[in-house]
Chains A and B, each alone.
Chain A
Amino acid sequence: MAQQARVVTSAEAEANVVPVPPGTDLVEWYFQQGWTDGLPVVPPTRAMVDAVVEALGGGPHFVECKVPPRYGSLSREVLAINMVMAGCKPEYAPIVRAAMLALTTDAFNLNGVQATTHMAAPLLIVNGPIAREIGMNGDCNAFGSGNRANATIGRALRLVLLNVGGGWPGELDKSTLGHPGKYTYCVAENEAGSPWAPYHVEKGFSPKDSTVFVLAAEPPHSVTNHVANDPEGILDSIVSAMSTIANNNAVSSGHCAVIIGPEHARTIAGKGWTRHDVRSYLAMHAYNLFSEITFNERYGKIYNRNLPKWYKREPGSRIPIVPSPDHIHLFVIGGAAGRFSAFIPGWGHMSSPVLRSIDTVDESGARRAPICVDGTCYL
Protein backbone atom coordinates (compact mmCIF):
# COMPACT_ATOMS: atom_id res chain seq x y z
CA MET A 1 0.00 0.00 0.00
CA ALA A 2 1.43 3.41 -0.95
CA GLN A 3 2.08 5.64 2.03
CA GLN A 4 2.22 9.37 2.09
CA ALA A 5 5.53 10.66 3.43
CA ARG A 6 5.31 13.71 5.66
CA VAL A 7 7.53 15.66 7.97
CA VAL A 8 6.91 14.89 11.60
CA THR A 9 6.96 17.58 14.23
CA SER A 10 8.80 17.44 17.51
CA ALA A 11 5.47 17.15 19.29
CA GLU A 12 4.93 13.83 17.55
CA ALA A 13 8.20 12.42 18.82
CA GLU A 14 6.42 10.86 21.73
CA ALA A 15 5.83 7.43 23.15
CA ASN A 16 3.29 6.20 20.62
CA VAL A 17 5.07 7.49 17.51
CA VAL A 18 7.69 5.39 15.77
CA PRO A 19 9.79 6.77 12.90
CA VAL A 20 10.23 4.37 10.00
CA PRO A 21 12.40 4.80 6.90
CA PRO A 22 10.89 6.38 3.78
CA GLY A 23 9.42 3.84 1.39
CA THR A 24 8.53 1.36 4.15
CA ASP A 25 5.54 -0.81 3.35
CA LEU A 26 3.60 -0.04 6.52
CA VAL A 27 1.15 -2.92 6.15
CA GLU A 28 4.05 -5.34 6.19
CA TRP A 29 5.78 -3.31 8.90
CA TYR A 30 2.84 -3.73 11.31
CA PHE A 31 2.89 -7.47 10.63
CA GLN A 32 6.61 -7.53 11.41
CA GLN A 33 6.05 -5.81 14.74
CA GLY A 34 3.47 -8.44 15.70
CA TRP A 35 0.80 -5.81 16.19
CA THR A 36 -1.98 -7.23 14.02
CA ASP A 37 -4.66 -9.87 14.47
CA GLY A 38 -3.35 -11.79 11.46
CA LEU A 39 -5.13 -9.59 8.94
CA PRO A 40 -3.62 -6.46 7.35
CA VAL A 41 -4.26 -3.30 9.35
CA VAL A 42 -4.91 0.24 8.17
CA PRO A 43 -1.65 2.14 8.86
CA PRO A 44 -2.70 5.09 11.01
CA THR A 45 -1.74 8.63 10.10
CA ARG A 46 -1.59 11.52 12.56
CA ALA A 47 -4.74 13.03 11.05
CA MET A 48 -6.69 9.77 11.33
CA VAL A 49 -5.64 9.25 14.95
CA ASP A 50 -6.43 12.82 15.89
CA ALA A 51 -9.91 12.58 14.36
CA VAL A 52 -10.73 9.61 16.59
CA VAL A 53 -9.24 11.29 19.67
CA GLU A 54 -11.43 14.29 18.96
CA ALA A 55 -14.48 12.02 18.72
CA LEU A 56 -13.50 10.69 22.15
CA GLY A 57 -13.55 14.22 23.55
CA GLY A 58 -9.89 15.15 23.12
CA GLY A 59 -7.24 14.59 25.78
CA PRO A 60 -5.08 12.04 23.95
CA HIS A 61 -3.19 11.05 27.09
CA PHE A 62 -6.29 10.51 29.25
CA VAL A 63 -6.21 6.87 30.32
CA GLU A 64 -9.63 5.25 29.93
CA CYS A 65 -8.68 1.96 31.55
CA LYS A 66 -5.95 -0.65 31.90
CA VAL A 67 -6.32 -3.83 29.95
CA PRO A 68 -5.39 -7.18 31.51
CA PRO A 69 -3.53 -9.48 31.58
CA ARG A 70 -0.71 -7.16 30.40
CA TYR A 71 -2.39 -4.17 32.07
CA GLY A 72 -1.33 -1.77 29.35
CA SER A 73 -2.74 1.75 29.72
CA LEU A 74 -5.48 2.44 27.20
CA SER A 75 -5.08 6.17 26.61
CA ARG A 76 -7.44 7.82 24.16
CA GLU A 77 -4.61 8.05 21.66
CA VAL A 78 -3.79 4.36 21.98
CA LEU A 79 -7.49 3.52 21.64
CA ALA A 80 -7.61 5.72 18.54
CA ILE A 81 -4.54 4.03 17.04
CA ASN A 82 -6.12 0.60 17.43
CA MET A 83 -9.45 1.83 16.07
CA VAL A 84 -7.81 3.26 12.97
CA MET A 85 -5.82 0.07 12.48
CA ALA A 86 -9.10 -1.88 12.66
CA GLY A 87 -10.72 0.31 10.00
CA CYS A 88 -13.14 2.17 12.29
CA LYS A 89 -14.69 5.53 11.50
CA PRO A 90 -14.37 8.20 14.23
CA GLU A 91 -18.12 8.01 14.92
CA TYR A 92 -17.70 4.46 16.19
CA ALA A 93 -15.55 5.78 19.05
CA PRO A 94 -18.23 6.07 21.77
CA ILE A 95 -19.17 2.42 21.26
CA VAL A 96 -15.62 1.11 21.34
CA ARG A 97 -14.81 3.15 24.44
CA ALA A 98 -17.97 2.05 26.27
CA ALA A 99 -17.26 -1.56 25.35
CA MET A 100 -13.70 -1.34 26.69
CA LEU A 101 -14.96 0.22 29.93
CA ALA A 102 -17.50 -2.59 30.23
CA LEU A 103 -14.86 -5.24 29.51
CA THR A 104 -12.50 -3.84 32.13
CA THR A 105 -15.13 -3.76 34.86
CA ASP A 106 -13.97 -6.07 37.66
CA ALA A 107 -17.09 -8.21 37.45
CA PHE A 108 -16.29 -9.16 33.85
CA ASN A 109 -12.94 -10.65 34.89
CA LEU A 110 -11.20 -9.85 31.61
CA ASN A 111 -7.97 -11.19 33.07
CA GLY A 112 -9.54 -14.63 33.20
CA VAL A 113 -11.37 -14.31 29.90
CA GLN A 114 -8.17 -13.39 28.08
CA ALA A 115 -6.05 -16.12 29.63
CA THR A 116 -8.44 -19.09 29.84
CA THR A 117 -7.95 -22.35 27.98
CA HIS A 118 -11.68 -22.14 27.12
CA MET A 119 -12.57 -20.62 23.75
CA ALA A 120 -14.61 -17.70 25.13
CA ALA A 121 -14.36 -14.36 23.35
CA PRO A 122 -16.09 -11.12 24.37
CA LEU A 123 -19.35 -10.76 22.46
CA LEU A 124 -20.56 -7.17 22.04
CA ILE A 125 -24.23 -6.39 21.36
CA VAL A 126 -25.23 -2.77 20.80
CA ASN A 127 -28.69 -1.32 21.46
CA GLY A 128 -30.27 2.08 20.92
CA PRO A 129 -30.14 4.93 18.42
CA ILE A 130 -26.38 4.90 17.92
CA ALA A 131 -26.52 1.49 16.28
CA ARG A 132 -28.86 2.84 13.61
CA GLU A 133 -26.97 6.09 13.25
CA ILE A 134 -23.69 4.42 12.38
CA GLY A 135 -25.33 1.71 10.27
CA MET A 136 -24.74 -1.39 12.37
CA ASN A 137 -26.27 -4.64 11.21
CA GLY A 138 -28.74 -6.59 13.33
CA ASP A 139 -30.47 -7.94 10.24
CA CYS A 140 -29.50 -10.55 7.61
CA ASN A 141 -26.17 -12.26 8.37
CA ALA A 142 -25.71 -10.07 11.45
CA PHE A 143 -23.09 -12.38 12.96
CA GLY A 144 -21.40 -12.76 9.58
CA SER A 145 -19.42 -10.55 7.27
CA GLY A 146 -20.39 -7.52 5.23
CA ASN A 147 -20.95 -4.61 7.61
CA ARG A 148 -18.15 -2.15 8.34
CA ALA A 149 -19.37 -1.02 11.75
CA ASN A 150 -19.96 -4.53 13.09
CA ALA A 151 -16.71 -5.82 11.65
CA THR A 152 -14.39 -3.01 12.64
CA ILE A 153 -15.80 -2.24 16.09
CA GLY A 154 -15.37 -5.89 17.04
CA ARG A 155 -11.95 -5.92 15.42
CA ALA A 156 -10.88 -2.80 17.30
CA LEU A 157 -11.75 -4.51 20.59
CA ARG A 158 -9.69 -7.53 19.58
CA LEU A 159 -6.71 -5.36 18.58
CA VAL A 160 -6.86 -3.63 21.97
CA LEU A 161 -7.10 -6.99 23.75
CA LEU A 162 -4.04 -8.15 21.80
CA ASN A 163 -1.89 -5.04 21.71
CA VAL A 164 -2.74 -3.37 25.01
CA GLY A 165 -4.00 -6.40 26.91
CA GLY A 166 -1.25 -8.68 25.65
CA GLY A 167 -3.64 -11.52 24.82
CA TRP A 168 -1.32 -13.03 22.27
CA PRO A 169 -2.10 -16.66 21.39
CA GLY A 170 0.15 -19.04 23.25
CA GLU A 171 1.61 -16.27 25.40
CA LEU A 172 -1.02 -14.72 27.68
CA ASP A 173 -3.99 -16.16 25.75
CA LYS A 174 -3.87 -19.88 26.49
CA SER A 175 -7.08 -20.83 24.68
CA THR A 176 -6.89 -24.39 23.44
CA LEU A 177 -8.95 -23.68 20.32
CA GLY A 178 -10.13 -20.07 20.26
CA HIS A 179 -13.05 -19.32 17.95
CA PRO A 180 -13.72 -17.11 14.91
CA GLY A 181 -15.24 -14.44 17.13
CA LYS A 182 -11.72 -13.64 18.27
CA TYR A 183 -11.37 -11.66 15.03
CA THR A 184 -14.59 -9.74 15.57
CA TYR A 185 -17.76 -10.56 17.54
CA CYS A 186 -20.07 -7.57 17.42
CA VAL A 187 -23.70 -7.11 16.40
CA ALA A 188 -26.68 -4.86 17.03
CA GLU A 189 -30.12 -6.01 18.14
CA ASN A 190 -32.71 -5.84 15.34
CA GLU A 191 -34.95 -3.49 17.31
CA ALA A 192 -37.06 -2.64 14.25
CA GLY A 193 -37.71 -6.30 13.50
CA SER A 194 -38.53 -7.28 17.07
CA PRO A 195 -42.06 -7.62 18.41
CA TRP A 196 -40.75 -6.86 21.90
CA ALA A 197 -39.09 -3.90 23.55
CA PRO A 198 -35.31 -3.87 23.00
CA TYR A 199 -33.00 -5.70 25.40
CA HIS A 200 -31.75 -2.54 27.10
CA VAL A 201 -35.31 -1.31 27.69
CA GLU A 202 -36.13 -4.62 29.38
CA LYS A 203 -33.20 -3.83 31.69
CA GLY A 204 -34.55 -0.39 32.56
CA PHE A 205 -32.98 1.94 30.01
CA SER A 206 -34.90 4.41 27.86
CA PRO A 207 -35.28 3.61 24.15
CA LYS A 208 -33.32 6.84 23.61
CA ASP A 209 -30.34 5.41 25.47
CA SER A 210 -27.67 3.55 23.61
CA THR A 211 -25.96 0.67 25.37
CA VAL A 212 -23.27 -1.92 25.03
CA PHE A 213 -23.68 -5.44 26.38
CA VAL A 214 -20.64 -7.67 26.72
CA LEU A 215 -20.58 -11.38 27.46
CA ALA A 216 -17.67 -13.81 27.49
CA ALA A 217 -19.12 -16.20 24.97
CA GLU A 218 -18.75 -19.33 22.92
CA PRO A 219 -19.77 -19.08 19.24
CA PRO A 220 -23.47 -19.08 18.32
CA HIS A 221 -25.10 -22.51 17.97
CA SER A 222 -27.82 -22.55 15.32
CA VAL A 223 -31.32 -23.61 16.34
CA THR A 224 -33.53 -24.63 13.43
CA ASN A 225 -37.27 -25.17 13.71
CA HIS A 226 -39.37 -24.76 10.57
CA VAL A 227 -42.38 -26.61 11.92
CA ALA A 228 -43.58 -25.20 15.22
CA ASN A 229 -46.33 -22.60 15.16
CA ASP A 230 -46.33 -22.08 18.93
CA PRO A 231 -43.87 -20.80 21.55
CA GLU A 232 -43.37 -24.17 23.22
CA GLY A 233 -42.28 -25.91 20.02
CA ILE A 234 -39.76 -23.25 19.09
CA LEU A 235 -38.43 -22.92 22.60
CA ASP A 236 -38.12 -26.70 22.99
CA SER A 237 -35.67 -26.62 20.08
CA ILE A 238 -33.64 -23.95 21.88
CA VAL A 239 -33.89 -26.00 25.08
CA SER A 240 -32.44 -28.94 23.15
CA ALA A 241 -29.47 -26.86 21.97
CA MET A 242 -28.89 -25.68 25.54
CA SER A 243 -29.21 -29.07 27.24
CA THR A 244 -25.90 -30.67 26.36
CA ILE A 245 -23.18 -31.61 28.81
CA ALA A 246 -20.49 -30.08 26.60
CA ASN A 247 -21.18 -26.36 26.71
CA ASN A 248 -19.58 -24.35 29.49
CA ASN A 249 -22.86 -23.30 31.11
CA ALA A 250 -23.63 -26.97 31.72
CA VAL A 251 -20.58 -27.46 33.92
CA SER A 252 -19.68 -23.92 35.03
CA SER A 253 -23.11 -22.29 35.29
CA GLY A 254 -23.20 -18.49 34.77
CA HIS A 255 -24.80 -16.44 32.02
CA CYS A 256 -25.62 -17.07 28.37
CA ALA A 257 -27.28 -15.32 25.45
CA VAL A 258 -30.23 -16.54 23.41
CA ILE A 259 -30.82 -15.00 20.01
CA ILE A 260 -34.37 -15.26 18.70
CA GLY A 261 -34.71 -14.85 14.94
CA PRO A 262 -37.44 -12.39 13.90
CA GLU A 263 -39.74 -15.09 12.46
CA HIS A 264 -39.53 -17.15 15.61
CA ALA A 265 -40.00 -14.00 17.70
CA ARG A 266 -43.17 -13.06 15.85
CA THR A 267 -44.64 -16.54 16.37
CA ILE A 268 -43.77 -16.51 20.08
CA ALA A 269 -44.94 -12.95 20.72
CA GLY A 270 -48.07 -13.59 18.62
CA LYS A 271 -49.23 -16.01 21.29
CA GLY A 272 -48.85 -13.32 23.93
CA TRP A 273 -45.52 -14.47 25.37
CA THR A 274 -43.24 -11.78 26.80
CA ARG A 275 -39.46 -11.73 27.00
CA HIS A 276 -39.75 -12.84 30.61
CA ASP A 277 -42.00 -15.74 29.64
CA VAL A 278 -39.41 -16.89 27.12
CA ARG A 279 -36.49 -16.64 29.54
CA SER A 280 -38.47 -18.39 32.28
CA TYR A 281 -39.46 -21.26 29.98
CA LEU A 282 -35.87 -21.77 28.85
CA ALA A 283 -34.48 -21.55 32.39
CA MET A 284 -37.02 -24.09 33.65
CA HIS A 285 -36.69 -26.67 30.86
CA ALA A 286 -32.99 -26.51 29.89
CA TYR A 287 -31.13 -28.93 32.14
CA ASN A 288 -29.02 -32.06 32.37
CA LEU A 289 -29.24 -34.76 34.98
CA PHE A 290 -26.51 -34.72 37.62
CA SER A 291 -25.62 -38.27 36.59
CA GLU A 292 -24.99 -37.04 33.04
CA ILE A 293 -22.60 -34.23 33.94
CA THR A 294 -20.77 -36.53 36.38
CA PHE A 295 -20.43 -39.29 33.74
CA ASN A 296 -22.32 -41.68 36.04
CA GLU A 297 -19.24 -41.59 38.30
CA ARG A 298 -17.26 -43.50 35.70
CA TYR A 299 -14.20 -41.41 36.63
CA GLY A 300 -14.92 -41.23 40.33
CA LYS A 301 -17.17 -39.13 42.48
CA ILE A 302 -17.56 -35.53 41.30
CA TYR A 303 -19.00 -32.66 43.31
CA ASN A 304 -18.40 -29.79 40.84
CA ARG A 305 -17.77 -26.64 42.88
CA ASN A 306 -18.53 -24.48 39.84
CA LEU A 307 -22.23 -25.13 40.17
CA PRO A 308 -24.28 -23.27 42.79
CA LYS A 309 -24.15 -24.71 46.30
CA TRP A 310 -27.90 -25.06 46.38
CA TYR A 311 -28.11 -27.58 43.52
CA LYS A 312 -29.04 -31.05 44.74
CA ARG A 313 -26.21 -33.39 43.74
CA GLU A 314 -28.00 -36.71 43.37
CA PRO A 315 -27.97 -38.89 40.25
CA GLY A 316 -31.54 -38.04 39.23
CA SER A 317 -31.34 -34.33 40.10
CA ARG A 318 -31.96 -31.80 37.37
CA ILE A 319 -28.97 -29.49 36.91
CA PRO A 320 -30.22 -26.32 35.18
CA ILE A 321 -28.15 -24.82 32.37
CA VAL A 322 -28.57 -21.44 34.07
CA PRO A 323 -29.41 -20.73 37.73
CA SER A 324 -32.25 -18.30 36.92
CA PRO A 325 -34.14 -16.67 34.02
CA ASP A 326 -32.04 -13.53 34.61
CA HIS A 327 -28.96 -15.45 33.52
CA ILE A 328 -30.42 -15.66 30.00
CA HIS A 329 -29.86 -12.52 27.91
CA LEU A 330 -32.44 -12.44 25.15
CA PHE A 331 -31.98 -10.55 21.89
CA VAL A 332 -33.92 -10.49 18.63
CA ILE A 333 -31.39 -10.52 15.82
CA GLY A 334 -31.44 -11.62 12.19
CA GLY A 335 -33.12 -11.21 8.84
CA ALA A 336 -36.86 -11.18 8.25
CA ALA A 337 -36.94 -14.58 6.54
CA GLY A 338 -35.84 -17.86 8.08
CA ARG A 339 -37.03 -19.82 11.07
CA PHE A 340 -33.73 -19.85 12.93
CA SER A 341 -32.57 -18.81 16.36
CA ALA A 342 -29.29 -19.35 18.22
CA PHE A 343 -27.91 -20.31 21.61
CA ILE A 344 -24.69 -18.63 22.71
CA PRO A 345 -23.19 -20.29 25.78
CA GLY A 346 -21.15 -18.16 28.14
CA TRP A 347 -17.85 -18.89 29.82
CA GLY A 348 -19.38 -19.65 33.22
CA HIS A 349 -19.84 -18.16 36.68
CA MET A 350 -16.29 -16.79 36.53
CA SER A 351 -17.42 -13.75 34.50
CA SER A 352 -20.44 -11.50 34.80
CA PRO A 353 -21.74 -9.85 31.63
CA VAL A 354 -21.89 -6.07 31.77
CA LEU A 355 -24.46 -3.67 30.33
CA ARG A 356 -23.27 -0.09 30.06
CA SER A 357 -24.86 3.01 28.61
CA ILE A 358 -22.98 4.91 25.94
CA ASP A 359 -22.24 8.57 26.50
CA THR A 360 -24.03 10.18 23.55
CA VAL A 361 -25.77 13.39 22.54
CA ASP A 362 -29.45 13.14 21.57
CA GLU A 363 -31.31 15.02 18.82
CA SER A 364 -31.97 18.01 21.10
CA GLY A 365 -28.27 18.35 21.80
CA ALA A 366 -28.64 17.10 25.35
CA ARG A 367 -25.89 14.86 26.62
CA ARG A 368 -27.08 11.42 27.62
CA ALA A 369 -24.48 10.51 30.18
CA PRO A 370 -23.86 7.00 31.45
CA ILE A 371 -26.28 5.89 34.12
CA CYS A 372 -26.24 3.21 36.82
CA VAL A 373 -23.40 2.95 39.28
CA ASP A 374 -20.31 4.42 37.62
CA GLY A 375 -22.06 4.00 34.27
CA THR A 376 -21.99 0.25 34.61
CA CYS A 377 -24.97 -1.98 35.20
CA TYR A 378 -23.89 -5.24 36.82
CA LEU A 379 -26.12 -8.03 35.66
Chain B
Amino acid sequence: MTGQNDLIAFDPRGVVETEPRALALRARSLDGLRLGVLDNTKWNANRLLRKTVAKLQQEYSFAAVSYYRKESFSQDADPALIETIAADNDIVLTAIGD
Protein backbone atom coordinates (compact mmCIF):
# COMPACT_ATOMS: atom_id res chain seq x y z
CA MET B 1 0.00 0.00 0.00
CA THR B 2 1.17 3.51 -0.66
CA GLY B 3 1.32 6.04 2.14
CA GLN B 4 -0.50 9.34 2.04
CA ASN B 5 2.69 11.31 1.38
CA ASP B 6 4.44 8.89 -0.94
CA LEU B 7 5.53 9.78 -4.44
CA ILE B 8 4.64 7.32 -7.10
CA ALA B 9 6.93 5.93 -9.72
CA PHE B 10 6.09 3.62 -12.58
CA ASP B 11 7.52 0.20 -13.37
CA PRO B 12 8.19 0.15 -17.15
CA ARG B 13 8.85 -3.57 -17.49
CA GLY B 14 5.45 -5.15 -18.10
CA VAL B 15 4.33 -8.51 -16.80
CA VAL B 16 5.90 -11.77 -17.90
CA GLU B 17 3.36 -14.56 -17.98
CA THR B 18 5.14 -17.86 -17.62
CA GLU B 19 4.22 -21.42 -16.82
CA PRO B 20 6.76 -23.13 -14.59
CA ARG B 21 8.15 -26.26 -16.21
CA ALA B 22 10.30 -28.83 -14.48
CA LEU B 23 13.74 -29.60 -15.85
CA ALA B 24 14.22 -33.05 -17.33
CA LEU B 25 15.85 -35.52 -14.99
CA ARG B 26 19.65 -35.25 -15.11
CA ALA B 27 21.53 -38.32 -16.34
CA ARG B 28 23.72 -39.94 -13.66
CA SER B 29 26.00 -41.63 -16.16
CA LEU B 30 26.49 -41.06 -19.88
CA ASP B 31 27.41 -44.64 -20.76
CA GLY B 32 24.86 -46.43 -22.88
CA LEU B 33 22.80 -43.32 -23.58
CA ARG B 34 21.70 -42.05 -26.98
CA LEU B 35 23.42 -38.70 -27.66
CA GLY B 36 21.76 -36.13 -29.89
CA VAL B 37 23.96 -33.35 -31.28
CA LEU B 38 22.26 -30.18 -32.46
CA ASP B 39 24.26 -27.94 -34.79
CA ASN B 40 22.87 -24.39 -34.79
CA THR B 41 24.73 -23.75 -38.13
CA LYS B 42 26.94 -21.00 -36.72
CA TRP B 43 30.28 -20.71 -38.51
CA ASN B 44 32.20 -22.98 -36.16
CA ALA B 45 29.44 -24.92 -34.42
CA ASN B 46 29.83 -28.14 -36.39
CA ARG B 47 33.60 -28.20 -35.85
CA LEU B 48 33.25 -27.50 -32.13
CA LEU B 49 30.53 -30.12 -31.68
CA ARG B 50 32.35 -32.89 -33.54
CA LYS B 51 35.54 -32.32 -31.55
CA THR B 52 33.53 -32.30 -28.33
CA VAL B 53 31.78 -35.53 -29.25
CA ALA B 54 35.12 -37.12 -30.09
CA LYS B 55 36.44 -36.18 -26.64
CA LEU B 56 33.31 -37.46 -24.93
CA GLN B 57 33.60 -40.75 -26.81
CA GLN B 58 37.08 -41.25 -25.38
CA GLU B 59 35.49 -41.35 -21.94
CA TYR B 60 31.98 -42.70 -22.52
CA SER B 61 30.37 -45.33 -24.66
CA PHE B 62 27.16 -44.02 -26.23
CA ALA B 63 24.44 -46.31 -27.59
CA ALA B 64 24.07 -43.97 -30.55
CA VAL B 65 25.18 -40.53 -31.71
CA SER B 66 22.78 -38.64 -33.98
CA TYR B 67 23.46 -35.28 -35.62
CA TYR B 68 20.79 -32.64 -36.27
CA ARG B 69 20.91 -29.17 -37.83
CA LYS B 70 18.81 -26.05 -37.36
CA GLU B 71 17.77 -24.25 -40.53
CA SER B 72 19.10 -20.93 -39.24
CA PHE B 73 21.28 -20.09 -36.26
CA SER B 74 19.21 -17.02 -35.49
CA GLN B 75 15.78 -18.56 -35.58
CA ASP B 76 14.00 -21.12 -33.46
CA ALA B 77 14.41 -24.74 -34.43
CA ASP B 78 11.47 -26.35 -36.18
CA PRO B 79 9.20 -27.78 -33.44
CA ALA B 80 9.09 -31.08 -35.35
CA LEU B 81 12.88 -31.27 -35.15
CA ILE B 82 12.78 -30.66 -31.39
CA GLU B 83 10.18 -33.43 -31.05
CA THR B 84 12.34 -35.82 -33.04
CA ILE B 85 15.40 -35.03 -30.94
CA ALA B 86 13.44 -35.50 -27.72
CA ALA B 87 11.95 -38.80 -28.89
CA ASP B 88 15.13 -40.37 -30.24
CA ASN B 89 17.72 -39.31 -27.69
CA ASP B 90 18.44 -39.46 -23.97
CA ILE B 91 20.80 -36.48 -23.82
CA VAL B 92 21.52 -33.56 -26.15
CA LEU B 93 24.64 -31.56 -26.84
CA THR B 94 24.46 -28.18 -28.56
CA ALA B 95 26.73 -25.16 -28.95
CA ILE B 96 26.83 -21.70 -30.44
CA GLY B 97 30.20 -21.94 -32.20
CA ASP B 98 30.45 -18.26 -33.16
Contacts and interface: CB of A to CB of B under 8 A. Distances in A.
Interface stretch (B14-22, B52-60, B83-91): B14-22
Contact of A43 (B3, B9, B74): B9
Given A112-B74, A112-B75, A163 B12 contact: yes
A5 interface: yes
A85 interface: yes
Identify the interface centre among B9, B17, B76, B98: most chain A CB within 10 Å of its CB: B9
B7 A78 contact: no
A373 interface: no
B25 interface: no
B14 A75 contact: yes
Interface in A41-76: 43-46, 49, 67, 70-75
Identify the interface centre among B15, B17, B98: most chain A CB within 10 Å of its CB: B15
Nearest to A82: B12
B16 A71 contact: yes
B8 A46 contact: yes
Contact of B13 (A13, A78, A84, A351): A78
A170 to B, nearest CB: 15
Identify the interface centre among B2, B15, B74: most chain A CB within 10 Å of its CB: B74
Contacts of B94: none
Contacts of A20: 6-9
Contact of B5 (A5, A75, A111, A116): A5
Interface stretch (A22-30, A234-242, A281-289): A22-30
A44 B7 CA distance: 11
Which size bracket describes the interface of B in this complex?
A: 20 to 34
B30 to A, nearest CB: 29
Contacts of B17: 73
Contacts, number: 105
B29 interface: no
A177 to B, nearest CB: 14
A24 B7 contact: yes
Given A5-B5, A72-B15, A117 B98 contact: yes
Interface in B1-43: 1-17, 41
B66 interface: no
A272 interface: no
Contacts of A49: 10
A109 interface: yes
Given A19-B3, A21-B7, A26-B7, A74 B14 contact: yes
B2 to A, nearest CB: 4
Interface string A153-174: 0000001000110000000000
Interface SS of B by simple majority: loop
A22 B12 CA distance: 20
A19 to B, nearest CB: 4
Interface in A73-107: 73-75, 78, 81-82, 84-85
A21 B74 contact: no
B9 A13 contact: no
B14 A21 contact: no
B61 interface: no
A15 B15 contact: yes
Nearest to B98: A117
Identify the interface centre among B10, B41, B73: most chain A CB within 10 Å of its CB: B10
Nearest to A80: B10
A19 B9 CA distance: 6
Contacts of A164: 12-14
B16 A29 contact: no
A78 B13 CA distance: 7
8 contacts: A6-B8, A18-B10, A19-B3, A26-B7, A73-B16, A74-B14, A78-B14, A163-B13
Given A19-B2, A22-B6, A35-B13, 7 more contacts: A19-B3, A20-B7, A24-B9, A43-B9, A45-B8, A109-B75, A305-B41
Q: Which 10 A-B pairs have the closest CB atoms?
A: A72-B14, A350-B74, A19-B2, A112-B74, A19-B6, A163-B12, A78-B14, A164-B14, A81-B10, A81-B12
